[in-house]
Structure 1
Amino acid sequence: MPEQDDTEREFDLKWADNAHHKEPSARARMLAARWKDNPPGPQPFRAAPGPTTPRRSSWISTAVVLGSVAAIILLLGYANFRAPY
């Protein structure tokens, strides 16, 4: 198949965009088929958020990470101190 130049490709895109009948997307067809027998219930514009679980403090996570790093530094320092030269 020969390569199309830009003018032919532009013509094809304009022709496709101006089509009288456009096929819906696969998702639109799937939802239409699903809602045909079982339509969705009404929902508010912005639904109220559900109950949330309280988050743990980020300070606890920070303390655990910094404590682990300090322990590793001390362990490596002790290992270098004990190593014979």
Structure 2
Amino acid sequence: MSRQDDEEREFDLRWADQAEQKEPSARARMLAARWKENPPEPVPFRGEPESAGPRRSSWVSTVIVLGCAVAVVLVLGYTRFPGP
């Protein structure tokens, strides 16, 4: 590109950025049309996930993980070192 092309392109970008009205994107137009007929319901900032089950305490989770680890160690220990 020549220097003149760069200057013309820069001018065009400045001219476009200074436009008083900008055309919305296709997605924005689609959502505006959809929401005009059927507005969305308000959603809390951090809503609870719908698929979450009852929450366990951190101690219960820790006991479950440690219990599984001990069970695996015991199973591996007995299978590798059979009795006399």
Same fold by TM-score, threshold 0.5 exceeded? yes
Aligned residue number for residue 30 of structure 1: 30
Distance in 2 separating the partners of 1:83 and 1:74? 14
Aligned residue number for residue 17 of structure 1: 17
Any stretches of 5+ residues in structure 2 without a counterpart? none
Structure 2 residue matching 1:19: 3-state secondary structure: coil
**Distance of aligned partners of 1:40 and 1:67 in 2 relative to their CA distance in 1, 3 Å threshold:** closer
Aligned residue-pair number: 78
What fraction of aligned residue pairs are identical, expressed as a percent?
62
Residue 26 of structure 1 aligns to which amino acid in structure 2? A
**Distance of aligned partners of 1:62 and 1:33 in 2 relative to their CA distance in 1, 3 Å threshold:** same
**Distance of aligned partners of 1:75 and 1:38 in 2 relative to their CA distance in 1, 3 Å threshold:** closer
Aligned-pair CA distance for 1:3: 8.1
TM-score (structure 1 length as normaliser): 0.56
Any stretches of 5+ residues in structure 1 without a counterpart? none
TM-score (structure 2 length as normaliser): 0.56
2:65 aligned with 1:60: no
- What do the CA deviations read for 1:29-72 (whole angstroms, capped 9, x no partner)? 1232124344567x6xx78x68xx75222222221111111111
Aligned residue number for residue 82 of structure 1: 82
**Distance of aligned partners of 1:35 and 1:81 in 2 relative to their CA distance in 1, 3 Å threshold:** closer
Residue 16 of structure 1 aligns to which amino acid in structure 2? A
Aligned-pair CA distance for 1:10: 3.2
Residue 68 of structure 2 aligns to which amino acid in structure 1? S
